[in-house]
Structure 1
Amino acid sequence: MAERLITATGIEVTYGNRRRGGVKVLHGVDLHLDRGETIGIVGESGSGKTTLGRALIRLVDTSAGEIRFDGKDITHLGEEAMRPYRKRMQMIFQDPMASLNPRHSIRQILAGPLLFHGLAKSEAEADQRIAKMLDRVGLPSIVLQRNPHELSGGQRQRIGIARAALLEPEFVLADEIVSGLDVSTQAQVLNLLKDLCRDLGLAMAFISHDLSVIRAVCDRVYVMRQGRVEEAGDCATLFDDPQSAYTRELLDAIPLPEVDADWLKDPEVA
């Protein structure tokens, strides 16, 4: 039986002052994630999927409910108490240019978190870890001397993945990370993520509006609507036989292409 890593119960998020008409974005959301599992979070724009993801890693405060990580209630931990958990849960952002410091070299961007969290005791050890990770994500060492704007979108996204994986997290939140990439580069990045999740035993929550991507990489899926979970279940079953009228409408609005189930293994794009 799989070991539970994250359990979210009755999660609510309200932006603004609740007593002065704040806007409630999440309405009592329940979600769970096992170690090594990949879940998809889908929904139309404004459904609350990104807010839910950020609440799971405590980048957004909840106004009600409970979040447990590895059995520990982290819902209201202060920043000091959260620090040991920060390297255990990482986020890969939609726009790598916005999340990579434009004034720093790629080496500085990758070495800084390793040294800050004590995973590397020296610059030399950090460089060794970085070299191995670059090889793993398929980037040449020359990129270490460059700044983010000197890399392609696909290369920047690989750096974002490398930065997250270097900290050896147990949970990774990936928010629309392939939406701005061409199909070939999407497949490369998704293959990379699948390999890392398998090899490192990572649990991942994958937020995307692209249902074909969710179907290709996720074990289970949560369908969000207006801040609530409309439907949840095994990925293949839910897409083949949706029980909610809203899910059916979503599938009709964004139809799944008729593609080979092993499209990510295509040698032309791998």
Structure 2
Amino acid sequence: MSDELLTATGIEVTYGTTRGLMGKPGGGHKVLHGVDISIRRGETVGIVGESGSGKTTLGRALLRLVNSSAGTIRFDGTDITHLSEPRMRPLRRRMQMIFQDPMASLNPRHTIRRILVEPLRLHGLAADAKTAERRVSAILERVTLPAACLDRNPHELSGGQRQRVGIARAALLEPDFVLADEIVSGLDVSTQAQVLNLLKELSADLGLSMAFISHDLSVIRAICNRVYVMRHGQVVDEGPCDRVFAAPASAYTRMLLDAIPLPEVDPEWLGRRMESEDAA
């Protein structure tokens, strides 16, 4: 078994492609320009860059939520680049996404109970309703949400609670890979720390591989093993976080580091924030 769970080679994504003479592609806006990325089993990889750098498009391409116009994507040894949707469907459970805006990804008409129970039944991970309810109760406890949340709708929860529901929904399906797209950008600092610590614990306990998309290098440093720095749809720097943060290979990475509103990138801020929350 290969150590690499997900690899992408030479990935290009073009939006708005039209058909010209002789049916050949023409026009369109190329967002990704030959991106290479690999994610090992049990590894958390950061994808960082400014708005418009292509990091979210890359994440969606890895999950086949957008189609690549060039390149190859392999998941657990299978080439999924052009796999048909019926053949992709069994892999969908193993490749989950936690969205930036949980309100947009949670059905407002459904209770949290239905949002969490239905995917278990749909994917055959619970033989009956009682088993599904038991598993949902267990994951709710893991993400520190009260049982009373089950009978509420998404709009009745806080932003941090909704994000925990999103994490619970992904974890319930026992995925191999999770893509987390800017999931703490709309939360206050203390709630950010709680959500990130939860994600770290679940990733370690479940052996998840994860890609964490963010514009915040302090967040990337706190939870990621390696990082890819993107600019204008290309990777301009990559490697272990310690190396990239200590000796960036790109002037753009140095610019991002200089923009952090702290004297130095602090890898311990997450732990200290949680300690202060516990003390309070």
- TM above 0.5, yes or no, is yes
Q: Which residue of 2 aligns with 1:185?
A: 191
Q: Which residue of 2 aligns with 1:80?
A: 86
Are 1:15 and 2:15 counterparts? yes
Q: Which residue of 1 aligns with 2:60?
A: 54
Task: Flag the 1:104–1:23 CA change in 2: closer, same or farther, 3 A.
Answer: same
Q: Deviations along 1:19-39, whole A, 9 cap, x unmatched?
A: 231111001000000010000
The alpha carbon displacement at 1:73 in A equals 0.3
Q: Which residue of 2 aligns with 1:92?
A: 98
Q: Which residue of 1 aligns with 2:276?
A: 268
| TM-score (normalizing by structure 1) | 0.97
The alpha carbon displacement at 1:218 in A equals 0.3
The alpha carbon displacement at 1:12 in A equals 0.4
The alpha carbon displacement at 1:214 in A equals 0.3
The alpha carbon displacement at 1:255 in A equals 4.7
The alpha carbon displacement at 1:250 in A equals 1.9
Gaps of 5+ in 1: none
Task: Flag the 1:118–1:76 CA change in 2: closer, same or farther, 3 A.
Answer: same
The alpha carbon displacement at 1:3 in A equals 1.3
Corresponding residue to 1:34 among 14, 17, 40:
40
| TM-score (normalizing by structure 2) | 0.93
Q: Which residue of 1 aligns with 2:221?
A: 215
Alignment of 1:32-181 (within 5 A): 32-181=38-187
Are 1:202 and 2:202 counterparts? no
Specify the SS of the correspondent of 2:51. Answer: coil
Q: Deviations along 1:189-218, whole A, 9 cap, x unmatched?
A: 000000000000000000001110001000
How many corresponding residue pairs?
Answer: 270
CA contact (8 A) 1:185 1:269 kept: no
Are 1:235 and 2:235 counterparts? no
Percent of aligned pairs sharing the same letter = 72
Task: Flag the 1:88–1:29 CA change in 2: closer, same or farther, 3 A.
Answer: same
Gaps of 5+ in 2: 19-24
